[in-house]
Amino acid sequence: MIQKGCLSFITLSDSNYQFPMPDLSSQRTPPTTTDKGGPIYKVGTLIYTPGALLTVMFWMLLGDLCLQIMEQLPTSLVPLQLRWATASDTLIGFIAGSLPAVLGILLNPVIGIQSDRHRGKLGRRRPFLLASTPLVIVALLGLGLATPIAEILGKWTGAQSLAALKIGWLGGCMAVFVVANTYIMQVYQFLFVDVIPKEVMGRFVGCYRAVGALGAFVFHRYMFGHAETHTALIYITAAVLYGVSFFLMIWKVKEGEYPEPTPKLGFLETTKSYFTECFSNSFYLKTYSLAFCFWCSIVPLWTFLVFFGTKPGQAAGYAPTLGLSLTAFGEARGWCSLVQVPVFFLVGPLVDRFHPLRIGMLGMLLTSLTFFANFAFVHNEKSFTFWLITNFVAQAIYMGAYLAILPRLLPSEKYGQFFTANQIFGFAGVALAPVLCGRLLEWVKDYRFIYIWCGSFTLIGFFMCILLYRHWCRLGGDTSFQPPSEKFLGKNSSRKI
């Protein structure tokens, strides 16, 4: 559920633990060559020829494409299913937005440590994917068949409210889905760090983001419009595509050999070191605030925008919606994802030339301004589509830059540790924003105000970008910046960024 890149890597780290995320800001080293002069690529004990590397990337990206189609279901269909069952906006915000975030905060540190320390015949990543994939499939089928299952349960139990049974069933299936899918999302992204060579990681990440956008386009363009009439079929199709692609990926993509894990430290010692190092410096708090502000704006948009745009989203006592059909809304939303694909590719060179923090600042400002423009200028299907696409282009500028901000600002010696601290802020935004925004919408009774909520938080994020940028300049900026890690790491960092 969660959009990729910002909330995808999280592991709780002890003082000796290193997260296996590559430094995307470092210069690429040329691959070595074979005896015949062709290049070979290495990552750990894995060695690839160009053809073998392309094969691995194909299976990884195929899994990502089907994964992204599947991931659209809880964010796009579950809010509608809950609304059809007469759930309140606050409850919708909790089940579709806050519940995944709360479980993510609790699970992600555990998942990271479990996966990194596991050793088995399939490696340290694929066993978790193999165990979690069937649970995701079962949860998807449960969500898709919620109506007939609630009717059967109603006959068995004699319950008077089928709507309450359906809401309870949807909430239970979402809980199972979130737990299993959290393992999938985290471990999948750990896997590509382990099997994709560092010198091609930037190109792979660009393809990864573009393929994810294509998956969202396919879902909204060809599936979302049939959500009300073919709910079960959509879930079944997505579950089959996801299951087949992931089992193929687990079979085709091989892991290398790993060194033995480091000895564990005591829980109290690890926790004290973690919080002292990660949260005692204002520079890092400013960095983390970007994730909090952005996700406070984006997750409510995913949850409630469909109610503003569509006729099925009309609630009693609320201001009129635009009255679009689900098909028309899905087409507009699909085009938004498609136009992001070239933006992700174009932002890369700009980030390398002007620094990701500058491009991210521009993207955050444009995102905020286009949210307010949506509030002011959207009155029909044509204006809705135009301004929503404009907003998604601005979001793509920010998200494309954000992938490179953290490796450039956080200390490489403990990158994983500081990355998880950033994720805590992001998940806090995901957990709080949908419920609070739902309460706001219940008060104003006008879904158009979703744009005011989103624009306000991205505007706050822009001002935090300015404060972070000024702090970065004081620490050396382009010429001599080093992460302010000496006080905590006990040594001077030699890394120049």
Residues of the chain with CATH 1.20.1250.20: 52-253, 287-497
The pLDDT score that the predictor gives to residue 452 is 94
With a cut of 50, say whether residue 187 has pLDDT above it: yes
The pLDDT score that the predictor gives to residue 493 is 41
What is the rounded end-to-end Cα distance, in angstroms, of the chain?
33
Alpha-carbon gap, residue 465 to 469, rounded angstroms: 6
The pLDDT score that the predictor gives to residue 163 is 82
What residues are paired with 118 via a beta bridge? none
- The tokens describing 45, both together, are 């004990």
pLDDT digits (tens, 9 = 90+) for 112-164: 667 777 788 888 888 999 999 999 999 999 998 988 888 888 888 776 778 88
pLDDT digits (tens, 9 = 90+) for 276-305: 888 888 999 999 999 999 989 988 887 788
The pLDDT score that the predictor gives to residue 206 is 65
pLDDT digits (tens, 9 = 90+) for 24-57: 333 344 556 555 556 787 878 888 888 888 898 8
Share of the chain above pLDDT 70, in %: 83
CB atoms within 10 A of CB 60: 21
pLDDT digits (tens, 9 = 90+) for 468-480: 999 999 988 888 8
Dihedral of the alpha carbons of 370, 376, 382, 387, in degrees to the nearest 10: 0
pLDDT digits (tens, 9 = 90+) for 415-454: 556 776 787 888 888 778 888 888 888 898 888 899 999 9
pLDDT digits (tens, 9 = 90+) for 359-406: 899 999 999 999 999 999 998 888 999 999 999 999 988 987 886 787
pLDDT digits (tens, 9 = 90+) for 337-346: 888 888 887 8
Distances (CA, A) of 137 to 239, 241, 339, 460: 5, 10, 30, 39
pLDDT band at 77 (very low <50, low <70, confident <90, very high): confident
Answer whether CATH 1.20.1250.20 is correct for domain 52-253.
yes
Say if pTM beats, i.e. exceeds, 0.75. Answer: no
With a cut of 80, say whether residue 199 has pLDDT above it: no
Could you give the angle at the alpha carbon of 243 between the alpha carbons of 103 and 179, nearest 5°?
Answer: 10
CATH architecture label of 287-497: Up-down Bundle (1.20)
In 355-485, alpha helices (H): 356-377, 381-409, 415-444, 450-474, 477-480
CB 391 within 8 Å of CB 371: yes
CB atoms within 10 A of CB 119: 12
Alpha-carbon gap, residue 183 to 314, rounded angstroms: 35
Single-letter amino acid code for the residue at 189 = Q
**Averaged pLDDT of the chain:** 79
The pLDDT score that the predictor gives to residue 461 is 95
CA atoms within 13 A of residue 489's CA, in its CB half-sphere: 19
CB 97 within 8 Å of CB 300: yes
